[in-house]
A and B are shown apart, each in its own frame.
Chain A
Amino acid sequence: MKKEVNKSVVCLIVDNQPNVLARISSLIGRRNFNISTITASETNTHGLTRITLVVNSDDENVLNQVVAQTEKLEVVKKAYLLDMSNTLYRELLLIKIKTDEHERSAIREIVDIYRAKIIDLSKSSMIIELTGSPEKIDGFMDMVDCYEIMEVCRTGVTGIERGL
């Protein structure tokens, strides 16, 4: 993930139990770690959840602290830093834009270039879905910024290391 703001991604494998997100987020608050996104979802292993943290830092000591402190939590089975150069990152965007018939085709052009999808259309608005790297989504957001954006929802980053 090449970025102007230095970011790193930490992956946590945690017990899927009530409160687990509260435990992680309390720790992040308690230690004053600066994160930009957090995502959580079940894994293929029953009882385990994968949490992806995007940390706003590439300082080795800061990242080591994020890993070591989260690892201390009873619910955390594994915590590790993802290797930036060897990891694929994706994020999902849903965006609702106010449109009239004159703007539709211009927006569609942007949608096509970014390989996004229009998933809902009404007389006065459309909803677009886009999956991609965070940079791609940022780029798309820039392009549609000149239209009236009614709502935006981004899932936050998930990442997975490439096979060898």
Chain B
Amino acid sequence: MKLTGGQIVLEILLEHGVDTVFGYPGGAALNVYDALYQYKDKIKHVLTAHEQGAAHAADGYARSSGKTGVVFATSGPGATNLVTGIATAFMDSVPMVAITSNVVNSLIGRDAFQEIYITGVTLTITKHNFFVNKIEDLAHALRESFRIANSGRKGPVLIDITKDVTAQLCEFQKMETYALDKLPKANDEQIREVADLINQAKKPVIYFGGGVTASGASKELAQLSEKADLPAAHTIMATGVIGSDDEKNLGLIGMHGTVPANKAVHEADLVLALGTRFSDRVALNMNEFAKRATIVQVDLDKSEMNKNVLVDISVISDVKYFLEKLIPLVEAKKRPEFLKTVQDWKKTYRIEKDNPDVLKPHQLIRTICDMTDKETIYVTDVGQHQMWSAQYIKHKTPNSFLTSAGLGTMGFGYGAAIGAQTAFPDKRVIHVTGDGSFHMNLNEACTAVSYELPIITVIFNNQVLGMVYQWQSAFYEGRLSSTTPARKTDFVKVAEGFGAKGFKASTLSEFEDVFAKALKEKGPVWIECMIDKEEKVLPMIPGGLTVEDVILE
């Protein structure tokens, strides 16, 4: 059958099981959106306020559901507005296909209205991108986009289609989706070697990251930790993979990680790094990181081996496959002495102190967790509230803590929450944000209202740009350069202006009260929570140092 380019785009989305896309129309995208109109029974399009919000929504949809996030945008500014969203997904290995339209092929390169060379712009923030100016190339490029986005280490792919192609007719045949690339698998010898190391180690520690979630190895990780009595520290990407109250969960590692997590890795004689990349926020000093340990790194991306920290054994493998083969070779044993030490650290270094009179970040988060069910999806923005969330949210499930970890994108949260709530209409989605981050993209409230998404946004309002404020206070002798903006935003009124509900809380009991109300709302709710600007994210290990230099107060 003969279809237009626009129809081919949608047929191929259907081939890949896509039923939801996020985006924003425009001149060059008219034909694609016209096709979308014809397919509206099969594919739901979520219109956002801004293309950045659409990109973050596609990202949040993918992170929470494991499916590919798909985002549409028009040429020029539509395409450039996706850039931050694409880069965010790239840094956190999120599968995404961004489909942009460009001006007609005869105008390409002539600085036409709303023309941008988006494939050039996104070269280093996509796994690959395509420029399609021939209708015969379209179907293949689209299928390739899905294959590449989901193969190996996942990530975003952009496909830019000229407007004339989206209108032209071409013979189209449905096809099976392209097979994904085979994942690398560790060889038996290496697995045996690692098993022996674990069996012999006195103080072995697991340090794991987003690769564990990506390969669906949460269960295997828990089994290994249980069988060999291995305490485990996680990166922010892997929050929720092991239940937060699990005895062997050391918590977050790195700059704002727990003392037990950082101490354990610092003193370990064996560190098993699973699906993680030794980022500068974890290996704060690349030469000192786990320096007493034999380091084994397991990752499917060869380029992550010895990139930041030099390791002793590199295993290029899908983490799930590796763990499945490893577990039977590992001796079931207890390490009471080491585990006791770890538990003692956990008790010694608890730093949060309750206070009934003011809103303390940890109490706020604890209350949210206590009042919602364990299937809740938490989405954060970036800054102090993000770190408090990673530290204190009581996690039970993987894929339920969505945060911009690698790129650290302020303004990520609302879009991502919209994506998650769209993927899971029946789950509770809580968006934790700060007044700084929220000001960046709160415009997406209109989207949440349009689609009646009952996202609860909890705004940690300390009236300063908290994380930078904290650094300026601690390391710049209190020179508060552009972090105390004296904004007068009335979040309750703004919420109401958008047609959402707005509440405000200054004490814990007030919060409990309004949060209970928020849980009953059908549409989006904002709760502005007043936080003291001197609240700090602690513990903290400044970059370049080790846990020996940890700041506790």
**In the complex, are the beta carbons of B305 and A23 less than 8 A apart?**
no
The answer, yes or no, to whether A30 is at the interface (CB within 8 Å) is: yes
**In the complex, are the beta carbons of B123 and A71 less than 8 A apart?**
no
Interface residues of A in 11-49 (CB under 8 A from B): 18-19, 22-23, 26-27, 29-30
Cβ contacts under 8 Å, B131 to chain A: 18-19
Q: Write the nearest CB–CB distance from A63 to chain B, whole angstroms.
A: 11
Beyond A19-B119, A68-B302, A72-B301, whether A27 also contacts B124 by CB under 8 A is yes
Bound-state CA distance A71–B305 (Å) is 14
Cβ contacts under 8 Å, B305 to chain A: 64, 68
Cβ contacts under 8 Å, A22 to chain B: 120, 123
Given B119, B120, B148, B306, which contacts A64 in the complex, CB threshold below 8 Å? B306
**In the complex, are the beta carbons of A26 and B123 less than 8 A apart?**
yes
Cβ contacts under 8 Å, B307 to chain A: 65
**In the complex, are the beta carbons of B128 and A65 less than 8 A apart?**
no
**In the complex, are the beta carbons of A73 and B128 less than 8 A apart?**
yes
Bound-state CA distance A161–B123 (Å) is 32
**In the complex, are the beta carbons of B303 and A71 less than 8 A apart?**
yes
Cβ contacts under 8 Å, A18 to chain B: 131
The answer, yes or no, to whether A74 is at the interface (CB within 8 Å) is: yes
Bound-state CA distance A30–B303 (Å) is 14
Given B119, B128, B302, B310, which contacts A61 in the complex, CB threshold below 8 Å? B310
**In the complex, are the beta carbons of B119 and A74 less than 8 A apart?**
no
Bound-state CA distance A93–B513 (Å) is 80
Bound-state CA distance A23–B124 (Å) is 8
Given B120, B148, B303, B310, which contacts A74 in the complex, CB threshold below 8 Å? B148
Interface residues of B in 104-141 (CB under 8 A from A): 119-120, 123-124, 127-128, 131
Q: Write the nearest CB–CB distance from B169 to chain A, whole angstroms.
A: 25
Interface residues of B in 146-176 (CB under 8 A from A): 148
**In the complex, are the beta carbons of A74 and B128 less than 8 A apart?**
yes
Cβ contacts under 8 Å, B124 to chain A: 26-27, 29-30
Bound-state CA distance A74–B141 (Å) is 12
Cβ contacts under 8 Å, A19 to chain B: 119, 131
Beyond A61-B306, A61-B310, A73-B128, whether A23 also contacts B123 by CB under 8 A is yes
Given A23, A26, A69, A75, which contacts B303 in the complex, CB threshold below 8 Å? A69
Cβ contacts under 8 Å, A27 to chain B: 124
Cβ contacts under 8 Å, B302 to chain A: 68, 71
Interface residues of A in 67-123 (CB under 8 A from B): 68-69, 71-75
Bound-state CA distance A26–B305 (Å) is 21
Bound-state CA distance A69–B119 (Å) is 19
**In the complex, are the beta carbons of A65 and B120 less than 8 A apart?**
no
Cβ contacts under 8 Å, A71 to chain B: 302-303
**Most A CB within 10 A of own CB, among B124, B128, B303, B307:** B303
Chain A residue nearest in CB terms to B310? A61
Bound-state CA distance A124–B540 (Å) is 71
Bound-state CA distance A22–B310 (Å) is 30
Bound-state CA distance A23–B127 (Å) is 11
Chain A residue nearest in CB terms to B157? A74
27 A-B interface contacts by CB (under 8 A): A18-B131, A19-B119, A22-B120, A22-B123, A23-B123, A26-B123, A26-B124, A27-B124, A30-B124, A61-B306, A61-B310, A64-B305, A64-B306, A65-B303, A65-B306, A68-B302, A68-B305, A69-B303, A71-B302, A71-B303, A72-B127, A72-B301, A72-B303, A73-B128, A74-B127, A74-B148, A75-B128
Instruction: Identify the A interface with B (CB < 8 A).
Output: 18-19, 22-23, 26-27, 29-30, 61, 64-65, 68-69, 71-75
Q: State the 4 A-B residue pairs at the shortest beta-carbon distance, nearest first.
A: A68-B303, A74-B128, A30-B124, A26-B123
Beyond known contacts A64-B305, A72-B303: 20 more, CB 8 A cutoff = A18-B131, A19-B119, A19-B131, A22-B120, A22-B123, A23-B123, A26-B123, A26-B124, A27-B124, A61-B306, A61-B310, A65-B307, A68-B305, A71-B303, A72-B127, A72-B301, A74-B127, A74-B128, A74-B148, A75-B128
